[in-house]
Amino acid sequence: MKLITILLGLSYCLSAQKPHLKEAVKFPLGSSVNPRLLNENEAYRNIATTEWTSLTAENHMKMMLIHPAADRFDFSKGDEIVNFATASGKRMHGHTLVWHNQVPQWMKDFQGDQKAWESLLKSHIQTVVSHYKGKIAGWDVVNESFLDDGSLRPSLWADHIPDYIAKSFQWAHESDPGAILFYNDYGQDGKPKKMQAILDLVADLKRRGIPIHGLGLQMHINVDSKRNELQEVLDKSIKTGLKIHLSELDIAVNPKNNPDFIYEEKVASAQAEQFNFVFKSYMKIPAAQQYGITFWNISDKDSWLRGYFKRPKEYPLLFDDKYAKKPAYTTLINSLHTLN
Ligand code: G3I
């Protein structure tokens, strides 16, 4: 009898242990993904399948890849990700409709008056949003429109289309009235003017009845990012009443690209604490405003910080180069258990 009780107790403990991060949180959790890795790499695919409830295309829904020629859209890779998400029961987040970066050459070369530019952007947004209508829960409609000093970033869109942000939200809403529409940006911590510009934008859009439903805070932060500044960004964002998406989370440990950097225990545990802080702060957001947390790709090896920024000794995520859970993963899941 005693043995049975012990065994029952043990099996209860084991079943109460939540083996995957997605089971340790009450909001959608995911990462951006790359369709080639989803196809070719079993470890990558397994993590996407078992650990996450939400996916974002890291690159394949951006203008350059989805709209390669004036008269041609290429939905093939975006569709692959959406099909994978649908087959594995995950939410799909759309990234991104309007950005100054990753714009195809034909758009850069485009000549036309304001009306022609508006028609180009409207048709881009409406074709992409309509294609994914009902399959994509929310869209980063406009990405990174403000500079650190709070001014509007010069771009093809800002230069040719007055009020392009509001128009983009309206066009996206017309194409899928059910989609949750986000303004997405990075580096608001310690940049009060940039943060204020975003808050002013939200207030202005709301006042004019333009549909905006969420704020994406990218959260490309580092191990030394100041917590009081991160908390202030969250607090101000929550006050808008919009949904909050931590949309591109990673925590750099070697931001200055020191070639002799060693990822030793001390820095790994400081990074784990920083992940804990981000999750704990996010869990204090009212549930109705929690759209979710998205990591920017899956393993350290896949991170844009290594590829795009050419920082070979960077380790910003929860899975290592061999797709094994890092100590930060274990620290995080254990701390989430105590909070839930
Ligand atoms: O696929 C091509 C390949 O065919 C070519 O040979 C190679 C040569 O450079 O480039 C490959 O494309 C690269 C692409 O990533 C796919 O790996 C581009 O050069 C590279 O510029 C691109 O970088 C992406 C970056 O956005 C572009 O600005 C990163 O993967 C992506 O993680 C990053 O994501 C952005 C978010 O969308 C917005 N927030 C910031 C975040 C980081 O920059």
Task: Write down the pLDDT at residue 15.
Answer: 41
User: In this structure, what are the phi and psi dihedrals at residue 152, rounded to the nearest 5 degrees?
Assistant: -70, 130
Q: Is 111 in the pocket of ligand 1 (CB under 6 A)?
A: no
pLDDT at 11 over 50: no
What letters, b where the CB count within 10 A reaches 16 and e where it falls short, cover 49-84? eebbbbbbbbbbbbbebbbeeeeeeebebbebbbeb
* Distance (Å, whole) CA 256 – CA 229: 20
* Distance (Å, whole) CA 107 – CA 64: 9
Q: What angle do CA 297, 271, 257 make, to 5 degrees?
A: 75
Task: Write down the pLDDT at residue 338.
Answer: 78
Task: Write down the pLDDT at residue 319.
Answer: 98
CA nearest 135: which of 169, 175, 170?
175
pLDDT at 2 over 90: no
pLDDT band of 168, cuts 50, 70, 90: very high
311 vs 16 pLDDT, higher one = 311
| pLDDT per position as a tens digit, 258-287 | 999 999 999 999 999 999 999 999 999 999
pLDDT band of 4, cuts 50, 70, 90: very low
Nearest CA to ligand 1 atom 29: 304
Which of 58, 65, 153, 220 has most ligand 1 atoms within 8 Å of CB, for mutation?
58
pLDDT at 12 over 70: no
Q: To the nearest whole number, what is the mean pLDDT of the chain?
A: 95
Q: Which atom of ligand 1 is nearest to the CA of 308?
A: 23
| pLDDT per position as a tens digit, 16-58 | 556 899 999 999 999 999 999 999 999 999 999 999 999 999 9
Q: Which residue type, as a one-letter code, is found at position 177?
A: P
Residue positions counted in the chain: 340
Expressed in angstroms and rounded, the spacing between residue 297 Cα and the centre of ligand 1 is 12
Mean predicted confidence (pLDDT) in 302-317: 96
pLDDT band of 13, cuts 50, 70, 90: very low
Q: Is 101 in the pocket of ligand 1 (CB under 6 A)?
A: yes
Token pair recorded at residue 333: 């899941």
Token pair recorded at residue 290: 């929690």
Expressed in angstroms and rounded, the spacing between residue 59 Cα and the centre of ligand 1 is 7
- With residue 248 as reference, give the H or E element that holds it: strand 243-252
* Chain center to CA of 236: 19
Give catalytic residue positions. Answer: 144, 248
CA nearest 58: which of 95, 30, 98?
95
| pLDDT per position as a tens digit, 188-236 | 999 999 999 999 999 999 999 999 999 999 999 999 999 999 999 999 9
Q: Which atom of ligand 1 is nearest to the CA of 297?
A: 32
Task: Write down the pLDDT at residue 17.
Answer: 57
pTM over 0.85: yes
Non-local CB neighbours of 228 within 8 Å, separated by 6+ positions: none
Non-local CB neighbours of 154 within 8 Å, separated by 6+ positions: 100
- In CATH, what number does 27-337 get? 3.20.20.80
Q: Which atom of ligand 1 is nearest to the CA of 95?
A: 37
User: In this structure, what are the phi and psi dihedrals at residue 226, rounded to the nearest 5 degrees?
Assistant: -75, 125
Nearest CA to ligand 1 atom 27: 102
| pLDDT per position as a tens digit, 81-136 | 999 999 999 999 999 999 999 999 999 999 999 999 999 999 999 999 999 999 99
